[in-house]
Amino acid sequence: MFNELSHIAALIEAGGDITLGNLDALNRCVATASDEAQCLAMLVRRKVESLDNLLRRLDAAIRDAYENERFIDEVNAPVASNSRKPRR
């Protein structure tokens, strides 16, 4: 398994970090990855997801962040936008 997590390994070797643990606010396991400049991904472990699969998703999310500039945030709820037009 761990030989396949090349993007996680490269991130750590370059001075970045990953965090894995329970987030009390969600009462769920969360995996995060960041480099020296930004947070690349924050993933919430799915109810039937193995730890192995969560780490594989994190590895893929790191790759996606660097290759496509897509940053995944499953922790913070999206902020609803106000679609009303401003008053004049």
Report the DSSP pairing between strands 72-73 and 17-23: unpaired
Across the chain, mean pLDDT equals: 88
**Residue 47, domain extent:** 2-73
Q: What are phi and psi of 60, to 5 degrees?
A: -65, -35
Mean pLDDT for the stretch of residues 10-25: 95
Number of domains in the chain: 1
The answer as to whether 81 is a domain residue is no
pLDDT band at 20 (very low <50, low <70, confident <90, very high): very high
pLDDT tens-digit series, residues 38-60? 999 999 999 999 999 999 999 99
| pLDDT for residue 87 | 46
**Percentage of the residues of the chain whose pLDDT score is greater than 90:** 78
Residue 84: pLDDT above 90?
Answer: no
